A and B are shown apart, each in its own frame.
Chain A
Amino acid sequence: MATIKIDGKQFEVDPTDNLLKVALSKGFDLPYFCWHPELHSVGACRQCAVKQYKNEDDTQGQIVMACMTPASDGGCFSIEDKEASDFRAQVIEWLMINHPHDCPVCEEGGECHLQDMTLMTGHTRRRYRGPKRTHRNQELGPFINHEMNRCIACYRCVRYYRDYADGDDLRVLGSHSNVYFGREADGAFNSEFSGNLVEVCPTGVFTDKTLGAHYNRKWDMQNAPGICTHCSLGCNTSPGSRQGILKRIQNRYHGEINHYFLCDRGRFGAGFVNREDRPRQPLVRADNGVLEPQDMDVMLASLKSVLAEAKGLVGIGSPRASLEDNFALRHLVGADNFHNGMSGPESHASLAALALLQEHAGRLPTLRDVESCDAVFVLGEDVTQFAPRLALSLRQAVRNEHHVLAEAANIPKWHARAVRDEGQHFYSPLFMAVPAATRLDDVATELFHLRPARIAELGFAVAAILDDAAPMPANIDEQTRTHAETIANALKTAKKPLVVAGTSLGSEAVLTAAGNVMRALESVHDDAGLFVTLNEANSLGMAMMSDRDVDHAFEAITSRRADTLIVMQNDLYERAQHGKVDAAIKAAKNLIVLDHSMTATIAKADYVLPAGSFAEADGTLVNNEGRAQRFFQVFIPEAPLQEGWRWCADLNRAIGKPVDWYGMDDLIDAIEAACPQFAGIKTAAPSTSFRKAGMRFPRSPHRYSGRTALYANVDVRERRPEVDVDSALAYSMEGYHGSDQPPALMAYAWAPGWDSNQAAITRFQDEVGGHLKGGDPGTRLLKVDANVPDYAPAEPKLVEGWQAIPRYHIFGSESQSAKAPAIQQRMPRAWFTLNEAGAKALGLAAADTLRLTIDGEIHALPVTIDPSLPDKTIGVPVGAHGLMGVRLPAAVSP
């Protein structure tokens, strides 16, 4: 700890921090541009100038840049000093010289860091009357809009895009005062994390194109604390809406998960909420076979008789729906008739993942912790496509070597440029045993392109080398042993090794192998971590709720044990071979579907109830580390569309099963009572009755406008304010918004003088870039189990002959985001992939059509050559852009 003085006040600070971070953490308003808590200091913009004094008697002082000044003991600084503040005002006047006069037509206006800083420095009137520099814009694809005139050349975008996210297609072009930030040619950014440019850019050069299409200002948004539903990591988001339209997804800071950044799927994948083809009325299949809208009461009455006459109910839940929705269905059909909604292999893999997580519950690093791991072994996961945000964290993990070298050279950790120069191309080890090339290859130390079983074999071997007690797989070849030794060595010598595995390959063996590696590491290492990725946002929660998959459900229907199928927010055609699904639906007397999006299952349903998506419902999701997180309703949808669990409550009442869930609190209590494994989800967020100073918490910023005119064309009398019976949030700008707010109920970030999302959050953190005041939200459900089981036998079950393996894509493999228009524009073409030898063996050239029989169903797709694939391996695109319902890996004979 060091003691420094700022403007005469004394503070205890960390001497390894720079003064800017310290000043912001202590609540000072000090303007800055090029600095960012994650990108650190380069001292380029000269905006954070302060006075530094030699000692307390020094009255002269000298101007220094706060971001480049260590907060070392005894330091004496002044922010208010006249010379320093004049200097800052001058700097911003220079920066603003070429800034166009277009705030009114800029999407950034109202949450613009540049606006904030000009106001903070007091530069409110332009003096420069000369000609302004102009630039031509580029067309940057469906996500991001480019308006280069607004650039102040702070270099934050390239520092984020190139140095942090390792992208290579955003560059600084031109020279001297003509620098240009863009791509070599028009086109979408390659990086999967380009959306963060919208928030990283302090002004309106990069703005959210999906927001621009139905724009409104930040102050007019009705937000809610959200959880991303597009992968298992559970990044925190802040969805914004107005007039019942979901406008955008913004990052919501979570100190242990996503902190400042999201992936593009999370940021731009929510467009499915606004789709016209969503079911918004109860639909019933008429005699002519067409789904027709039905009045809610009539519908419930007819469902009452359907359920009463049913010979047996089968409920299929969904790993993309909340615990609440699933539990409500489970209650309706009975625990024994409830199914977790995953396909057989997916369910088995998820259960294996759950078991693995439970075994190592004490060693599960958070996504943020991953960034500080200095040796990583990835088993099977193509993280960029499967759990994208993890790839960004792994990219930071490999840079730990830079920090080690920098520390040795006595370079402070915040000195970004110097740390990079010192680190050069020395990276911490990252080993990836994956079926084919991934987008993370550029930072990998070594790549092993193997089939799933061989990946497991390598894992078992690594475990056996780390710990002699671990079994070595039989007949292991020399090459595998060498690789395993390299990996084991790196993991052993690292300070904080990390094992990443997951369910993407649908291979239990890979997870078992990861378990052995982890156990072996624990025997030699105190600080080993395990990171497991799953298929969907609530896959882990569903694995915890039920071990019965859709195959059990189909079996119950086709064996005539039950005749009524109720599906909650799930598309059965994603979960099983289409023939099997068709057969089950045909066998079922009634198919009742509750969903928010149009699916192939709805097209076959007899009754459809419109359920709320994440934007129209509250719920709890369990992410890949077992963290239960609550998301909240962003806006109230037009009736009769309502939460899935409310439909189930209605159905329960209709068939005379008394339920006392009138709000979320009741339902959560019921879940905790019925399922002890979910004990603690209640604490994931404060209850409905929670108040601060007697107040609820606002969904909208205090300057929310137009309330008396928004709906005046319909009725000039203002609508009654909506009351939220499910949470302590308010559907208005009224309530308590401040740093003492519980983070789980923080719908948006704003602080006086700080309107931009990434800067305002500073006021809600215990220190800049640290944890949220009041603790990062969420409750971790997995408890440490002292009972450590023995090593699993090393039986990778190698497969000879042709094998089809799943290939994921960030845009397309997740079914909800695949319905978002912006994501659809970026979805790749569907190809079967195989290596050159394979193509030659099958007599195929690129773009030829390959007909492949998987599980008895024939699929035809053009082929493309991917030289990285192992021999006799066919990559199958899974998801909306490719094939759905195929069960992989599978032995095939092309």
Chain B
Amino acid sequence: MFGFSTDTLLDFAFTAFETIAILLAVVISAALLIWVERRLLGVWQDRYGPNRVGPFGILQVAADMIKIFFKEDWIPPFADKAVFVIAPAIIMFTTLMAFAVVPFTETIGVVDLNIGILFVLAMSSLGVYSVILAGWSSDNKYALLGGMRTAAQMISYEVFMGLSLLGVVLLAGSFDLRTIVESQAGMWNVIPQFPAFVIFFIAGIAEIHRAPFDLPEAEQELTAGYHTEYSGMKFGMFFVGEYLGIVLISCLTTVLFFGGWLGPILPGFVWFALKAGFFICFFVLLRAATVRPRYDQLMAFGWKILLPIALVNVAITGAVVVAMA
């Protein structure tokens, strides 16, 4: 049939199934995060959080989704319509694409690219367009300011993110994420590459502009930043996109520094979920606990502190690797 062997076809079918399964799992967990975050914030702010819809309020997600689907699909008359519609789709697309190279267990994972890390960085760079285009097409001063802030913030922090990963790549000798996980069988990268971990995590927060680095949508100054004019499901995509980002960064941190699925007794998938879940909760904790820095402080922190540390880390790691070899 069409010149494919049965194996190829089965393989294709399996990959397709796996892709869809991962896609669903990721999106559902991102959606659930809406509830998780609100409940956790409740815990840390000495209150309840959503607790009325379904057991523990877990159906709040469903309620929110139904609400957001049935909202009016409103495009402001002054907006650039095509760009305005495309912008939120881009963030969903790029973030989900990045999941393609994430190895969840020994066997689960859509694709093993030998340039996996570069693919992740490339996708996250493309994500910038979503925010910039959303800000620009809204034709609203707050949205545009939000977009401009994002451009500067994401481009800057991408640099440190990339540099921090070089140490990990040097240790593993590969850009392939699966290889990187396997190289941590003896020792998790977080120990030799602790500065790199810190920089990566901070840069990760900045990349997905979560609190405390949520300057692009700083409510107090910019109403809602780049998505001021968005509502309904288009806003929903930005909303879910943000949670997808959290999941992605948490997964990547697990993969790059905490040995991915590696761990005793429990199956690999559980270890992966536990580790990733921990970081997801940490994201929420950060939001509960930290205050937003000023814009210049954010940039200064990146270029004056993170960049030198990252460079020194690369130099030392390189030296050690060369010496060891």
Question: Do A and B touch (CB < 8 Å)?
Answer: no
Interface set of B (CB-CB < 8 Å, partner A): none
What is A's interface to B at a CB cutoff of 8 Å?
Answer: none
